[in-house]
């Protein structure tokens, strides 16, 4: 008992020493920095303050406006600028085939998924991919897929001739089949708050964007989920249909945002019309 108390006291003193040293070091460096700035005069201080303000402004603008995934690629990505609209039927069918493969595999493994983002728009408007879509998007409930390793998923998808990769920065699995791709984004209620958040360290780096565009009520993913027709197959979708799009596309969830090269006659039929704005 005495040895236990002595060891505990030693660890507490060591922790206190380390914290004191860290605070002292930080204070010393801060003092040196202030001294260096003061020696350079008021102009240097003004430049530093302006640089910080400009950095904060552009970070905010880039986070909130610049990372709208359904708008920025058409301006900055050659792949999207040269994309046909409408895309060839064979390419759209490849997207449909891949999502159907995902439906079968996730269903067999008990993994909860749903259509999401642009793919959900496609199901609501066309009952298939939007004519200019480049890939498919799915939501995956993290707690239902965590029990499987990447190798487990690769083996399961091998029967469907689908390649599987995982990208930790964005917290998503990438499925590939016949030149079609599908992003499977993991969501979790990390804080027990009743709201689902995207997984991945990118969501911390660009937290403003992710809090603004990638958070929605967990109730929308409560099972059993409803289904929507996507390419001839009933696939799972979030509850209340359009509601989740109000969180992902806050300004234009009830509009059709097309790339500039799309002809006017390429437009959705609104097979499942959006509700009126309130």
Distances (CA, A) of 117 to 19, 83, 183, 220, 229: 46, 19, 10, 14, 16
CA dist 144 and 165 (Å) reads: 18
Predicted local distance difference test score (pLDDT) of residue 62:
63
Contact 175, 164 (CB under 8 A): yes
Q: pLDDT (tens digit, 9 = 90+) per residue, 228-267?
A: 999 999 999 999 989 999 999 888 888 887 777 788 777 7
Q: Name the residue with higher pLDDT: 165 or 58.
A: 165
pLDDT (mean) for 14-31? 64
Contact 208, 60 (CB under 8 A): yes
Give the confidence band of 222 by pLDDT, cuts at 50, 70, 90. Answer: very high
SS3 215: strand
Tell me the average pLDDT of the chain. 83
Contact 112, 141 (CB under 8 A): yes
SS3 85: coil
Share of the chain above pLDDT 90, in %: 47
pLDDT (mean) for 129-133? 89
CA dist 199 and 171 (Å) reads: 5
Q: Is the model's pLDDT at 26 over the cut of 80?
A: no
Q: What is the DSSP letter of 63?
A: I
CA dist 185 and 116 (Å) reads: 9
pTM over 0.85: no
Predicted local distance difference test score (pLDDT) of residue 134:
87
Distances (CA, A) of 127 to 63, 234, 269: 32, 10, 10
Q: pLDDT (tens digit, 9 = 90+) per residue, 148-202?
A: 999 999 999 999 999 999 999 999 999 999 989 999 999 999 889 999 999 998 8
Give the confidence band of 271 by pLDDT, cuts at 50, 70, 90. Answer: confident
pLDDT (mean) for 110-139? 93
Q: Is the model's pLDDT at 96 over the cut of 70?
A: yes
- Which is nearest to 274 in space by CA: 255, 261, 259? 255
Tally the C-alpha atoms within 13 A of residue 235's C-alpha that lie toward its C-beta. 32
């Amino acid at each position: 008992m005495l040895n236990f108390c002595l060891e505990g006291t030693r660890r507490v003193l060591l922790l206190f020493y380390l914290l004191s040293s860290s605070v002292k070091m930080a204070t010393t460096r801060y003092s040196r920095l202030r001294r260096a700035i003061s020696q350079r005069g008021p102009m240097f201080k003004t430049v530093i303050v302006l640089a910080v303000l400009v950095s904060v402004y552009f970070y905010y603008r880039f986070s909130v406006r610049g990372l709208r995934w359904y708008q920025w690629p058409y301006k900055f990505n050659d792949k999207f600028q040269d994309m046909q609209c409408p895309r060839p039927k064979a390419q759209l069918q490849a997207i449909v085939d891949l999502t159907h493969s995902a439906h079968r595999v996730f269903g067999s493994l008990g993994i909860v998924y749903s259509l999401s983002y642009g793919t959900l728009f496609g199901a609501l408007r066309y009952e298939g991919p939007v004519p200019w879509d480049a890939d498919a998007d799915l939501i995956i409930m993290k707690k239902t897929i965590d029990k499987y390793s990447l190798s487990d998923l690769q083996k399961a998808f091998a029967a469907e001739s689908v390649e599987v990769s995982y990208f930790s920065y964005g917290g998503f699995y990438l499925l590939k089949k016949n030149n079609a791709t599908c992003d499977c984004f993991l969501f979790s209620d990390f804080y027990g708050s009743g709201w689902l958040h995207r997984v991945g360290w990118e969501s911390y780096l660009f937290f403003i964007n992710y809090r603004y565009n990638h958070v929605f009520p967990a109730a929308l993913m409560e099972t059993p989920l409803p289904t929507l027709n996507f390419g001839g197959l009933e696939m799972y979708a979030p509850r209340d249909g359009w509601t989740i799009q109000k969180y992902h596309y806050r300004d234009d969830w009830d509009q059709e945002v097309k790339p500039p090269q799309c002809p006017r006659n390429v437009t959705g039929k609104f097979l499942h019309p959006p509700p009126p704005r309130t």
